[in-house]
């Protein structure tokens, strides 16, 4: 049977997780509040908004500044454990995410997860999905520089290339919800769709702005791709 994706320029979709597939930001914010208050400090809404989409190392540093007297690693582990426990009680799916994942799967379009959450958290969410949609998982503990640096997205493309050397950045679309996430995806050269959730994003020529993933289709994603490989990117992210 012919692969429906074979004639499409869209070969892969690179998904952010928190705020894009699952609405876990309230879980993270609640965990931050609890941790800061346990150390005698206060944690404001504005402070919480600074951490949306950021690497956990960056976030832990700001929590230390807010009075949390723990090492960076201990802060990350404490937050992650609390959020995982919340996810186990209820997975808060974002509108349209599972439907689009299923459509991509049936069409043979590959998917990669590109998240600043660490492996245990990412695997918890992935295990809650009905199918193994994600061929590649790039998590915050597997890259040296987190979002907004493009390292995570470049790594995802390179991993996808291992089984398809012809796949290039110009065959991929990234789905993101946060300022650091969108910045990382755009900096990698991947066509980027911003679907803002907790923090608003302005319109900008460097990415597409969608209100929701609900009702969106593969055809709409494929239509965003350049019609030809850009100069300098014949087969991959670094030429």
At 134-155, the pLDDT tens digits run: 999 999 999 999 999 999 999 9
pTM passes above 0.75: yes
Give the integer Cα–Cα distance in Å for 127 and 133: 10
Nearest one of 167, 144, 146 to 157, comparing CA atoms: 167
Half-sphere exposure of 132 (CA within 13 A, CB side): 3
Domains of the chain by residue range: 12-23+93-222, 25-89
User: For the CA atoms of 183, 147, 91, 71, what is the dihedral angle to 10 degrees?
Assistant: -150
> Residue 176's CB: how many other CB atoms inside 10 A?
29
**Averaged pLDDT of the chain:** 90
Do residues 91 and 125 lie in contact, with contact meaning Cβ atoms separated by under 8 Å? yes
Per-residue pLDDT reduced to its tens digit, 26-81: 898 999 999 999 999 889 889 988 888 778 898 999 999 999 999 999 999 999 99
CATH architecture of 25-89: Orthogonal Bundle (1.10)
Do residues 75 and 63 lie in contact, with contact meaning Cβ atoms separated by under 8 Å? yes
Do residues 218 and 107 lie in contact, with contact meaning Cβ atoms separated by under 8 Å? yes
Which CATH number describes the domain made up of 12-23+93-222? 3.40.50.1000
User: Which band of pLDDT confidence, cut at 50, 70 and 90, is reported for residue 7?
Assistant: low
């Amino acid at each position: 049977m012919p692969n429906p994706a074979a004639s499409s320029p869209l070969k892969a979709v690179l998904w952010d997780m928190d705020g894009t597939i699952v609405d876990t930001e309230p879980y993270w914010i609640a965990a931050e509040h609890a941790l800061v208050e346990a150390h005698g400090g206060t944690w404001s809404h504005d402070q919480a908004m600074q951490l949306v989409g950021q690497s956990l190392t960056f976030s832990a540093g700001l929590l230390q500044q807010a009075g949390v007297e723990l090492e960076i690693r201990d802060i990350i582990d404490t937050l992650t454990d609390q959020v995982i426990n919340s996810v186990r009680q209820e997975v808060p799916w974002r509108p349209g995410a599972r439907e689009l994942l299923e459509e991509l799967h049936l069409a043979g379009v590959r998917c990669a997860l590109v998240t600043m959450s660490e492996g245990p958290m990412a695997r918890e969410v992935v295990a809650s999905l009905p199918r193994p949609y994600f061929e590649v998982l790039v998590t915050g503990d597997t890259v040296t520089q987190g979002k907004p640096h493009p390292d995570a997205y470049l790594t995802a493309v390179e991993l996808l290339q291992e089984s398809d050397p012809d796949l290039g950045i110009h065959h991929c679309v990234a789905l993101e919800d946060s300022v650091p996430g969108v910045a990382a995806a755009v900096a990698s050269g991947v066509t980027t769709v911003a679907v803002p959730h907790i923090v608003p994003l302005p319109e900008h020529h460097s990415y597409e702005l969608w209100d929701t993933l609900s009702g969106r289709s593969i055809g709409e994603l494929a239509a965003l791709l350049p019609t030809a490989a850009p100069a300098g990117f014949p087969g991959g992210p670094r030429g």
